[in-house]
Amino acid sequence: MGRCKRRGLCCQDVRLDVSPEMLHNAYEFWRKSKSIDPGFSEIYLIYPMLEFKFEHGSEDLPYHYRCRHFTHGADGLPACAIYEIRPRMCRDFPYYESVEHLDRTGPLSPYDGCGYNDPD
């Protein structure tokens, strides 16, 4: 199994099954709520971090976004501007323990060139 090699593929192409409209509506609902249901998906909370890129309807995760916190470090490598407080979906990538429908027999990451798919 490979490891993260800071290529930034997952930051530049965040793939979700949630449309920009749904993310926006859920985020606005969350903002108005007096309390947060612990079962409420974190994905809605990161809405302000995401910039919609495009939709590819034939994919399992058809909505493509880019993280606004993607940057390059002083060493020129891709980096996260909020690395210390990044969301759980970023900390846990590519291990989607709670996502049952994903094919776990192939590569760990959906991104060609991702270090997690490397044999080392």
The whole-number pLDDT of residue 21 equals: 95
DSSP state of 18: S
The whole-number pLDDT of residue 103 equals: 65
Whether residue 99 has pLDDT greater than 70: no
The whole-number pLDDT of residue 97 equals: 63
* Structure confidence by residue, pLDDT tens digits, 54-68: 999 898 889 999 999
DSSP 70-106: EEE-TTSSEEETTGGG--HHHHSTT--TT--SS--SS
The whole-number pLDDT of residue 81 equals: 94
Average pLDDT, the chain: 85
The whole-number pLDDT of residue 98 equals: 61
